[in-house]
Amino acid sequence: MSRRTLYQSAERVAPRVLGARLVSEVGGERVVVRLTEVEAYGGAGEDPGSHAYLGKTPRNATMFGPPGHAYVYFTYGMHWCANIVTGPEGTASAVLLRAGEIVEGLDVARARRLSARVDRDLARGPARLTVALGLTGELDGVDLLDSTSPLRLEVARRPLPVVAITPRTGVGGAGAMTPWRFVSDDPTVSPYRAAVSRGRAAR
């Protein structure tokens, strides 16, 4: 995937990411996931469901950076989630990687995700995906288009068709009904869940 493609807004980039491969070589162990479900998040003052809605902070700074970098954040005190930064620098849009199919490194992913009963669940959800790939906050800001990076994004020869566009999972408040969740026809897609009140909208 070219940097030029990623200069577009997240809602335009998101459907084109379906079917792309995310390659992790963290710790010298190679795991590759084919992306099957993603969500778009917009910028400051635009998208109430986004981390960037109220402006730039130390936590979301990477989201404002150049496109093609990884935005990795910790959520609910338990999980890491990974995004692809999109749009011109300073606009703060990103595509959340919600689910995928492990296509290389199954044994490594299984060892990292011992609670998964079947392979389709290894990366079925954003937190499971990061665990299967070995991702943590140390990879926040890494260039996904750099061939020497331990985490890389590779364009699909043929993107997966979008079979559903829905509101985003777990987003409440003013951004609850924004239809920016893009889903392919694949068993690894995670179930949709409406927001649970936690005081403010968050993903």
Residue 200's pLDDT is 41
pLDDT score, position 77: 82
- What structural domains and CATH numbers belong to the chain? 3-183 (3.10.300.10)
CA angle 7, 123, 137 (to 5 degrees): 60
* pLDDT > 60? residue 175: yes
Give dist(CA 176, CA 170) in Å, integer: 8
- Please, which pLDDT band fits residue 203 given cuts at 50, 70 and 90? very low
**Segment 142-168 mean pLDDT:** 94
Distance CA 151, CA 70 (A): 8
**DSSP state letter for 131:** H
| pLDDT score for 3 | 86
Structure tokens at 69: 């970098």
With a pLDDT cut of 70, the percent of the chain lying above it is 96
* pLDDT of res. 197: 55
